[in-house]
Each structure stands twice: as C-alpha cells, then as structure tokens.
Structure 1
Amino acid sequence: MAHRLGESDWGDWLPTAVADADPDGVAVWYLGCNGFVLKGRDGTTLFIDPYCGLGDPPRTLRMLPVPFDPSDVQDADAILATHEHSDHVHGPTQAPILAATGADYYAPDASMAIVERQGWIDEWSAVAEQFVTVSEDETFDIGEFTIHVVPVNDPDADHPVGYVIEHDAGTVFHGGDTRHADSFTGLADRFDIDLGVLAFGSAGRIPDKQTREPKRTQWYADENEVIRAANALELDRLIPSHWDIWKGLNADPTVLHHHARSFDYPERLEIVEIGDRVDL
C-alpha cells in the first residue's frame, strides 16, 4: 500500500516534548518533510502538514525516521493542510490525531476531495464538523493564533495555499511546496514575517507515476528560487524544508548561505533537522 503509516522507533518523546512545553512566545518543531508543530504560550497547538508515511517505493523512498506515532499526540487544536499531495494530506497520520484530540482540519478544496475519497470520517471516526474548507484571502482565529490563507505557486498541485500565522510573539509563513510567487511582494507589504518555511530540493530522476520509467523531476524550489522567494517575502528568518525526505531529490541546505549572502533577505538562515525546536 502506497504511503502507508511508518512505524516510529523514536518512542513518544517528541509528542511528549510538545505537550510538556511552556513557551514564552511560540515554539516551533520541525517534523521532517514539510511538517511542523506550533505551540503558543497559552497552549494552542497547530500541526501543519504532518506526515508519518513511508512514501511509494520505489518511486518515492523515505530517507528520514518516522518521528512519532499519531496515537501518541496528546494535544492539537488544528491541522492545516497546504495541498492535496499524499505527504501533505495523509489519512493514517492526520485522521487519528483528529479523532483523538477533536482538532479541526483546515484545507483547500482539492485536499478535502482526498479526505472524502479516502473516507476519513468512516475509517478513523472523525466527525464532519471538524473539516473546514478554506480558500485564499480568508482569515480565522484558532486560540491565540490568527491564520491568513494566502495564494502560493506550486505548479504540481491542483489547489495549493499557504498560511501566514500571526501571534503576539511573531509571524510565521508556511508556503507548502511553493516556488516564488508574484503575490509574495504583496504579502511582505501586509505582514512582517519573522519566520518563513520554504520547500527546497534538487532535481532528480524519479520513476514516473504511470510508466515507472525514470524521469527528470523537480518538485521543489532550487537554491536560487528559494532565495528569490525569501527576498520577495522579506523574511527575517528562513527555514528550508523538504530537502531531507525523498531519495533522489535530497539537497544540502547549507549551500543556501552562499546564495543568500549578497541579498537583503533572509536576514538569517536557520538549518533545522527533524525533531529540532526553534522559538519566536
């Protein structure tokens, strides 16, 4: 079965660390791939694109440990999905969290179509009221966070969105698998983004989904594209993501130091690994 749930050998330390954390502002954990957890000082906990699947071997081969078992997640107020791909909308990872915690699930229509097709409500005992379809330019509150749904540019997705997440301690941008978008300069005018997440990776020869023949593939922004996007967004801090997950599309995020050196933004490049925490 493609994208089946992987077994974690990390135990429950990461969900426990999130549950036990008492941040002064906002704590942010990287889950590998493009997954993140944000927890505010009042305890509001947001998951963005968590993924504990194993990929679709031999087409996509997971290069990371599975960091937690979804059944070990103790607290979640919401899961935000950026687009419909299996490593961003993943029933075996996300639906058990919804069922156990009562969290709400926010996603664009193409992502919700996957949820319906896979029967999350029947399969994992989530309830219909937990699912909220979002579109660009919507704003809503989840506890101490204000969430803005914003347009992004992912040419491989049917309907991708990004999220600008505001808190008294700072503002976070998560763009899913976006490349540079013309809308980013407008976002920089609207928001002072303290921490931005941009997907980064190399091009590689990956088996075609239909023919399984090797095909040149690039799903994520390269070095120059990432820095172009970071400049347009005027990021104070940049965390590159997604570079660590798929065999053949891995990349070295430290090279971004060289590409960023002569530009105004990002002001700081932060390289994190799966399980790491940073703070606003």
Structure 2
Amino acid sequence: MRETGESMAINKSSEELISEVRQTNVYRDSISFWSLGQAGILFKGREEDGLLCIDPYLTSSIEEVNPETEFKRAFPPVLDPAMLQDLDGVLVTHGHDDHLDLSTIKEIARVSGSQFGIPAPLVPSVQEQLKNKDILSVKDGEVVRMRGFKVTPVPAAHTDYEKDSSGNHLFLGYLIEVNGIRIYHSGDTIVTSELIEKVKAFKPNVAFLPINGTDFFRTSRGIIGNMNSREAADFAAAVGVDLLVPIHYDLFPINRENPANFVDYLFHQYPYQKFHMMVPGERFIYHK
C-alpha cells in the first residue's frame, strides 16, 4: 500500500496542543508526531504504545542562565513541560543544553512517571537531578523499551565520534520501532559511511535529520555543526527513507539554515523524495 501522510497547520496554545495530543487516535501501521522546535519531537502510538519524547527543550533556560548568550529563542516554547503528565519515555541524544535541558527534564520528572533514556556518560550528572527516577543508561546497540517503543541507540558524530573512558558514546541517534513504523532520529551528527550503513540496514520509514550545517565562523565560536541541507537529502536517498523531516534549523537565529535551500535541492535532485517542513507545535500523522 502506498504510504501517505496527513498534516495539520497550527497556531495553538499549550492547552490546545496537549488537548490535541490526548485526543489524537493512532491506528495500525501509523505514528503521530509533533514538532517541539529545534530537535524536539513528541511521538504518539496506539494507546498501548504510549507517548515518547526526544530532546525536549521547553524552557528558556539557556538565555536565563546566561543573558549574554548568542543562543536566544526565536519563538517561545510550544508546550509547558508541566503538561506532559502522560509521557512514558524521554530520550536524550547528547549533553548540549538545547537537547539535554535539565529544567525541562526535571519538570517532566516531577509531573509524570516517565522513564528517561540518557547516554551512559551523562547518567551520573542527570541522576543527581532526578533522584529516585527511572533512568536508563543507553549505549550503542543495546535495545531499550519504553512502553510500546523499541529503541536502538546508534552512535552520532558531532562532528566526531566521541567516547568516554569506558568506551560509551557521548552522542547518539535512535532507531525506533513502534506500531509497524520504523523511525530514525539522528540527534546532532554529520554524515559518515558507518552511519549510512547502519541506518540503511534499518530501512526507516521516517527520518528526522538536522540541516543547519557547519562553517568556519560558527565553529570558531564553539558552535558545533551538523549535516547541511544537501547532505541530509543525500543521506535520506542513500538509506532509502520514505519521509524526510528536517530538524535543527528553526530555533536559534545564529545557528540556522534557510530551509528553502533544502527544498530547492530536493526539487532538483530528488523530486520524488517525500518530505515535510514542520511548524513548531504542528502535528503530522504518518501511515502506511
């Protein structure tokens, strides 16, 4: 059967957004997801699958801690983390503040019974903040389950593969299987031949890939880059993904990529590649 998608443009409050999440019904061979901005994605499967979130940055903690920072939000959080009482799992890809936001994580831990999947090298620092909470130490290739979500971590190169003294990767992406759908969320990474091989073998239906790229001037200011829009498109084609959803280009004006370049490159090089540009807070229902 041909795979299709349904999207819904939004301009809603936190209350309206969480109401939409709760009222959305997911059926066989489907997944519903919402953009939280930056790399944050909220997934909903069937009732027995539950709710899973990746890299939620739902505060303004970066600029509140350091008012002089370059990293100032272009738009407010789409959702109050205190509204995520129903969350079953949170996955964090790495320790940068826009991916591991302890203010968001602590609030989710306060209001929910969520599990927290944290890269092994970061577990001690997170454990200090989330005492007596269910923290999973996630490692390359070791499958974890968060309710109905089967999660396999894969290494990410941001912009190199980095390990701690125990050999555990600091940067991860996630291969996720739920309700007949295969999802790849890359976290922050560049393209490597090893990554292409692993993701291609997984045969993802949907891939969430960064497109903000990297350059000399950002790197010289300590801004670590990712694949750019062309590389994301080429990567999607190389691994055979059905639907490509770009991420990590919208929240911080000093670390953006014009998504028009992404669309233009797809139009000329891969005119049959399905993709969707998400508005922060938008719902997308993917089914096959």
TM-score, with length taken from structure 1: 0.83
Counterpart residue number, 1:29? 34
- 2:114 is aligned, of 96, 103, 124, to 103
Q: Is the 8 A contact 2:106 2:129 kept in 1?
A: yes
Distance 1:41 1:111, change over 3 A: same
Counterpart residue number, 2:9? none
Partner SS, residue 185 of structure 1: helix
- 1:145 is aligned, of 139, 142, 149, to 149
Distance 1:45 1:63, change over 3 A: same
Distance 1:173 1:58, change over 3 A: same
Q: Is the 8 A contact 2:85 2:113 kept in 1?
A: no
Write the distance in 2 (CA, Å) between the matches of 1:185 and 1:167.
22
Question: Are 2:57 and 1:51 equivalent residues in the alignment?
Answer: yes
1:153-179 C-alpha deviation (Å, 9 max, x unpaired) = 212785111111112331110011111
Counterpart residue number, 1:161? 172
TM-score, with length taken from structure 2: 0.81
When the two structures are aligned, how many residues end up with a matched partner? 259
Write the distance in 1 (CA, Å) between the matches of 2:102 and 2:281.
21
When structure 1 is superposed on structure 2, of 141-150 and 10-19 the one drifting more is 10-19
Instruction: In structure 2, list runs of 5 or more residues that go unmatched.
Output: 1-11, 163-169
Question: Are 2:76 and 1:70 equivalent residues in the alignment?
Answer: no
Counterpart residue number, 1:176? 187
- 1:279 is aligned, of 261, 270, 285, to 285
Partner SS, residue 126 of structure 2: helix
Identity %: 23
Distance 1:202 1:182, change over 3 A: closer
1:26-83 C-alpha deviation (Å, 9 max, x unpaired) = 1111100110111101251001000023233432111122111111112111100001
- 1:120 is aligned, of 110, 129, 133, to 129
Distance 1:231 1:21, change over 3 A: same
Distance 1:37 1:266, change over 3 A: farther
Question: Are 2:207 and 1:196 equivalent residues in the alignment?
Answer: yes
- 2:256 is aligned, of 246, 250, 253, to 250
1:220-262 C-alpha deviation (Å, 9 max, x unpaired) = 3222222232233321111111101112222221321222245
Which residue identity lines up with residue 111 of structure 1 in the other structure?
L
Q: Is the 8 A contact 1:152 1:179 kept in 2?
A: yes
Distance 1:265 1:140, change over 3 A: farther
Partner SS, residue 38 of structure 1: strand
Write the distance in 1 (CA, Å) between the matches of 2:132 and 2:75.
31
Counterpart residue number, 1:211? none
TM-aligned CA deviation for residue 202 of structure 1: 5.1
Instruction: In structure 1, list runs of 5 or more residues that go unmatched.
Output: 1-8, 209-213
When structure 1 is superposed on structure 2, of 233-242 and 259-268 the one drifting more is 259-268
Counterpart residue number, 1:226? 232
TM-aligned CA deviation for residue 190 of structure 1: 2.4
Write the distance in 2 (CA, Å) between the matches of 1:244 and 1:35.
11
Q: Is the 8 A contact 2:86 2:112 kept in 1?
A: yes
Q: Is the 8 A contact 2:33 2:283 kept in 1?
A: yes
Distance 1:235 1:48, change over 3 A: same
- 2:23 is aligned, of 15, 20, 25, to 20
Write the distance in 1 (CA, Å) between the matches of 2:271 and 2:52.
27
Compute the RMSD of aligned alpha carbons. Answer: 2.5
Distance 1:143 1:82, change over 3 A: same
TM-aligned CA deviation for residue 185 of structure 1: 3.0
Which residue identity lines up with residue 104 of structure 2 in the other structure?
T
Counterpart residue number, 2:102? 91
Q: Is the 8 A contact 1:203 1:216 kept in 2?
A: no
When structure 1 is superposed on structure 2, of 256-265 and 171-180 the one drifting more is 256-265
Distance 1:64 1:114, change over 3 A: farther
**Which one has more relative contact order, counting CA pairs under 8 Å at least 6 apart?**
2
